[in-house]
Structure 1
């Protein structure tokens, strides 16, 4: 293993520009060696802005670069599976944006490709590193609010992106895999899986209420976990007043974070408290530093492919439930959603 991990950044869009590229340059043990984008003018602009040594327009050429040890895939969801498999075949480790893939079958192909080639696979569910989320986990494990009964997740974020022409890939079914459930609620479903384990059942309804798009702009999920915990999740792009709540109600108290991207955790219980736990200035930094350490220490990253697939399984069940009016039952994380 080299002294520093040589990274190739695949995809140079908004999140890559604001957070991923700066984090890859700043993270301990990292060197951002190359980037790739199809548009030559935008590629050159991105390369200069972030002072990246090499720029490619062809993914195969980037993978042939001997100074690239790992790739960060910041590309549309429909490309994740094929790009991960190509990277694994070239012996490159992969840190892939969320949601992991278009469906659980693609997730399994990605996991197997990386396992068979002996490379690491991580998924960018960076909220798992939020101090506020880790505190929630600690409080639940210590029984601070008794037995958890209900989790309520509310995400309202108005968007102008659905009005753009041509439409963003996030609003095109065969590129993003779905609408805001895939794009934004996936982060919250990942946290639910982290905190409460495997579902027993999933049901959902989705609608397109305000925008002329081919995917949902509003959705609701009801999840019953194997532990008995119920989770209600509602999300919409249609309401102009933002809301991002994560609440847990137990037999002896309540936890509330509002907004989830904020720093304040309210605990109402026998001993009521307010914790102030700011997240990293660049939320991708802890994720990337953990992945770097995983490579140096020859261990799995915190958010493996197997962990990343859990949110995809719940999403797959939710979309099927919404389409056919079914309640989807789980027999474990190896459940196949047909």
Structure 2
């Protein structure tokens, strides 16, 4: 009997080409056996290039394929709820790309469907599995900056070429991603902050469309309070004059500085000295995230990004956006 857990992917877009898809074939105990895209010729092309034996243009066919035991949903977020409920009904393990769904309400329905059946559910907040952020967590857990007082994140960038064109971009379509790049990018950071500093009990924000280049929001400010008493704040602006991605976690005896999306060195600064840590990411970048799913399913260790943690992140995002 083949001991490998057999995976299928729904939605083989750019994120699965390099970041995630290859990991499902590289991790011991996992095997990628089927893929699905809406256009069959594109599904076939992906399957042939990645040495996957079965391909579909019908998600139901993949979900109900008897050889598929687990499903990775990598479609745009507006369809996550629809597909996830089908996967849960089929009784199969699932990993969903982030954000888990466009709203807390849909995320809760997904979480409940899998929890009722006691089926493992993961969300692809893979930064929780990256060594560079485990280093940040270790510094905090070992009181390298004393008692943590506050965290601040500034994520800004210029409009992208597609923003300035008439080309369609689902990431800025309010019907799919109501808060635009916030949904896609801010979710990573907010989820990571919960991993580093614990749950969030209060959150609020202001959001608007400053540029009017697309239907989604493009400027958001947020503030929140962790259960531990740490205060958080952030600015996300996608129409600024330059790119900036900087996080400061400030404590009673120093601070830790790092980037969410760039591989800049981690900086530890105190009154006594400063240190720099350079920690490379794995290739593919979701490798350790997928490895941790294998360990979780086999009872070796708890995965850091599950449906429960993804649901909490969705609640925080909706609170900042004023949707709750």
Q: 1 CA distance for matches of 2:12 and 2:161?
A: 21
8 Å Cα contact 1:120-1:300 kept in structure 2: no
Q: 2 CA distance for matches of 1:41 and 1:211?
A: 36
8 Å Cα contact 1:29-1:289 kept in structure 2: no
Following superposition, the deviation at residue 53 of structure 1 comes to 0.5
Q: 1 CA distance for matches of 2:300 and 2:105?
A: 27
Q: Which residue of 2 aligns with 1:290?
A: 292
Unaligned runs of 5+ in 1: 322-336
Q: Which residue of 2 aligns with 1:197?
A: 198
1:160-179 map, 5 Å: 160-179=161-180
Q: Which residue of 2 aligns with 1:320?
A: 322
Q: 2 CA distance for matches of 1:298 and 1:57?
A: 35
Q: Which residue of 1 aligns with 2:127?
A: 127
Following superposition, the deviation at residue 31 of structure 1 comes to 0.9
Bigger helix fraction: 1
Q: Which residue of 1 aligns with 2:78?
A: 78
Q: 2 CA distance for matches of 1:151 and 1:180?
A: 21
Q: Which residue of 1 aligns with 2:310?
A: 308
1:164-313 map, 5 Å: 164-258=165-259, 260-262=261-263, 264-269=265-270, 270-297=272-299, 300-313=302-315
Displacement over 6 Å in runs of 4+: none
C-alpha deviations, 1:296-328, integer Å up to 9, x for none?
A: 22865321101111211111001117xxxxxxx
Aligned residues: 322
Q: 2 CA distance for matches of 1:63 and 1:299?
A: 27
C-alpha distance 134-320 of structure 1, shift in aligned 2 (>3 A): same
C-alpha distance 300-134 of structure 1, shift in aligned 2 (>3 A): closer
8 Å Cα contact 2:129-2:304 kept in structure 1: no
Q: 2 CA distance for matches of 1:53 and 1:272?
A: 52
Q: 2 CA distance for matches of 1:119 and 1:266?
A: 40
Q: Which residue of 2 aligns with 1:54?
A: 54
Matched position secondary structure for 1:19? coil
Q: 1 CA distance for matches of 2:157 and 2:149?
A: 27
Following superposition, the deviation at residue 80 of structure 1 comes to 1.0
Q: 2 CA distance for matches of 1:11 and 1:148?
A: 40
Q: 2 CA distance for matches of 1:118 and 1:298?
A: 17
* RMSD value, Cα: 1.9
Matched position secondary structure for 2:107? helix
Q: Which residue of 2 aligns with 1:328?
A: none
C-alpha distance 10-259 of structure 1, shift in aligned 2 (>3 A): closer
Matched position secondary structure for 1:20? coil
1:67-106 map, 5 Å: 67-106=67-106
Following superposition, the deviation at residue 14 of structure 1 comes to 1.0
Q: 1 CA distance for matches of 2:165 and 2:60?
A: 31
Q: Which residue of 1 aligns with 2:6?
A: 6
Following superposition, the deviation at residue 227 of structure 1 comes to 2.6
Following superposition, the deviation at residue 151 of structure 1 comes to 0.9
> TM-score under structure 2 normalisation?
0.93
Q: Which residue of 2 aligns with 1:150?
A: 150
8 Å Cα contact 2:20-2:285 kept in structure 1: no
C-alpha distance 258-83 of structure 1, shift in aligned 2 (>3 A): closer
